[in-house]
Amino acid sequence: MIKSINILYKNSSDLTTAKSQVSSYPENQILIQVYSGVQDQDKIKELHQQLTEHFPGVAIIGTSTAGEIMDARSLDEQILINISLFDDSIVRTHLVKHNEDPVVTGYEIAAALCHQDTKALILFGCGLKNRHTVNGGPLLEALQSKCSNVIIAGGQAADNGKGKTTFVFSKEGFTEQGVVAASISGKKLQANRAYNLSWIPIGKKLTITEAKGSVVHSIDDMSPYDIYAHYLGQEVADGLPLSAVDFPLIIERDGIKMAVHATGVNDDGSFQYIHDFHPGEQLRFGFCHAGLLAIGAQMTHAEARSFNPQALFIYSCISRKWILGADISVELSSLEDIAPSSGFFCYGEYFTHNSGKAYFFSQTMTVLSLSEGDAPLVPNQVASYDPKLEESRQFRTMRVLHRLVETSTKEIDSMNRELAKLASKDSLTGLANRRLFDETIASEIKRHNRSGDSLSLLLVDIDYFKQYNDIYGHLHGDDCLRTVSMIFSKILKRPSDIVARYGGEEFVCILPATSDTNAANLAEKIRSHIEALALPHKGSEISDYVTVSIGALTLADTIDVSPDELFHACDTLLYKAKRNGRNCIEAAIYQSDKF
């Protein structure tokens, strides 16, 4: 059985009652969590000293916040202390004072805290570095790789939205640059998780066209500023990045929709985001209203209640609190009747999905549920939750408007796909399609025969692309195709050069007035640039990353050859490149007696 005690701390006398309640528990079966909306570190260090005096040897972890959560209620600028008492489970903590290398930090925490019976890991990380939000993704990936069966929860420290300094601490000390973690281990311990986004994608799909890490330079070949101005209006664009927090970008990764908002505007016009992007990824603007929030609250309530928990820990993004205002009570109150709860509003949430992968979320509410004992899950005994929203005329209008926009968007997308089939562009990559290739190659052969200039053809195939789709899914496969297609646009810049998507993972390049030497050089440049993208490919038998094989054929002499014959000859070279190990090129001059 887990006993959870919440204390709104004002002075040391508030700890006296709790001291008598925990006296019968061994020190290694107690976890104290401190959520501080008070940013005065001297006061927190005074509290820290009082805690170590009242509870010697007990595990302590704490964080600065942007709001506190106690028994499903939102608080501001309070110091909330949660004391969790375990009958059987063991608590351990570890503090890393410097998080310069998040991967090394993840490995260190895993080595210190992950044991055979570890079921849950609560993590608080400093949320700011150089006044930018820290990307917690690499830390979580490293930690999860070493603790694959452990549920990771928690969030990044905040400072009431000031964006200056955050801190975390344990009984070992304080840090403004590190991470503190607590593991809970026990054979009778059960842990579960739930999350609620509520934001949904709306409007047309946008494509990242230039990005490096978390810095985005262009979307749909427009600057991020112009994209926001075009779709959200000049008033929003002029107040970026905070003005667009109501409409985050929604991206889908591993089948999970994630909200991402800009955290800064750089001097060169690029935008800084809380997550990394790569060219070719697609996203849409996101939207939320009270009705969606209520639906999400019902789902979160059902999932948390079905676990029959004895303690709940809630970690919610400060953006939700800013945007939703009083409506934040709709989702918090959904957890009120389930179990004692505590938590905080943070600068990004740590969450282990049901798939076992740990994610760094933003604009999400996450819930860690814990219980101790032999009580099984009770999915058939879920109590219903009524969010008690007033069905106002405004709410009904918003719900209908949402349906109108979403249905219209789907119909427009469908029409665009049909039009793309009839037009000259491939709807996925934006390159020429096979129809335009067939038309162009015939005319270029005629032009070659008139002018005598060399005509070259490149046939490019992504290595082991079927395996890529099998492992990563077709959505990631589409992203890969878009990313690869952008390499062609960067290298083949002459107006006369035509690049077409010929088949699923095949691309063909028509290069007028290009010698065999230049064609081979361009082919190698394409191959090396795609390899340098370092797109992970676990299904490849030749590399850890996405690679391509290329056949390069040059028509040097005036000769009577059909488009099909020329393409077949180039395909023969591509097949030879594959037989020779892939991730290479095979180049030749066309001779009818050799093909």
Q: Which residues are catalytic?
A: 505
CA torsion, points 517, 523, 524, 528, in degrees to nearest 10?
160
- What is the rounded distance in angstroms from the CA atom of residue 89 to the CA atom of residue 287? 42
Residue 347 is encoded by which pair of tokens?
A: 């600068």
Handedness of CA 425, 427, 430, 434 (dihedral sign): negative
Contact, 261 vs 277, CB < 8 A?
no
Q: Which burial class, exposed, middle or buried, applies to 219 when counting CB atoms under 10 A from its CB (0-12, 13-18, 19+)?
A: buried
The span from the CA of 575 to the CA of 549, in Å, is 9
Reading the block at residue 53, the tokens are: 């005096």
CA 281 to the chain's CA centroid: 11
E strand map for 411-547? 455-462, 498-501, 506-512
Dist CA 285 CA 249 (whole Å): 5
Annotate 258-278 with three-state secondary structure.
EEECEEEECCCCCEEECCCCC
Residue type present at position 29: Q
Beta-bridge partners for 212: 215
CA atoms within 13 A on the CB side of 285: 18
Using DSSP's 3-state secondary structure scheme, residue 437 falls into helix
- The whole-angstrom separation of Cα 432 and Cα 434 is 7
**What residues contact 46, with CB distance under 8 A and at least 6 apart?**
none
Are 21 and 5 spatial neighbours (Cβ–Cβ below 8 Å)? yes
Spatial contact of 85 and 184, defined as CB atoms under 8 Å apart? no
